[in-house]
Amino acid sequence: GQNIDQPTEMTATEGAIVQINCTYQTSGFNGLFWYQQHAGEAPTFLSYNVLDGLEEKGRFSSFLSRSKGYSYLLLKELQMKDSASYLCAPGNGDKIIFGKGTRLHILP
């Protein structure tokens, strides 16, 4: 079966750092995606981790531990425009399975 667990909502302050955790269980795992989705818009690609470790891309970093079935997305220097849902999505064979997403609220 497939199971993806991430917090439903988080709140952080502009300029701060926030870490969104995700645990997953899936067969045929071939990598972990993070997508960002603003309300009423399409998801957009943020990151893809295949190997264990941290991948840094500007203000966003993503970490993967394959053995633990665990990933996190780290957002630094938060901006108001980062208010969105963040979808943890393990790749499973020819499919990407999306989690329910974490709705991140940024306070001024």
Sheet containing strand 53-57, edge to edge, reads: 3-5, 18-25, 70-75, 60-65, 53-57
Judged by CB under 8 A, does residue 68 bind another protein? no
CB-based contact 96:86 (threshold 8 Å): no
> Smallest gap, in angstroms, from Cβ of residue 2 to another protein?
11
> Smallest gap, in angstroms, from Cβ of residue 108 to another protein?
25
For another protein, the closer of residues 7 and 31 by Cβ is: 31
CB-based contact 102:36 (threshold 8 Å): no
Give the number of other CB atoms < 10 A from CB of residue 1.
5
For another protein, the closer of residues 57 and 108 by Cβ is: 57
> Smallest gap, in angstroms, from Cβ of residue 92 to another protein?
8
Judged by CB under 8 A, does residue 10 bind another protein? no
For another protein, the closer of residues 13 and 44 by Cβ is: 44
**Beta pairing partners, 71:** 22, 64
- Chain residues in the site for another protein (CB under 8 A): 30-31, 33, 35, 41-45, 48, 50, 85, 87, 91, 93-98, 100-101
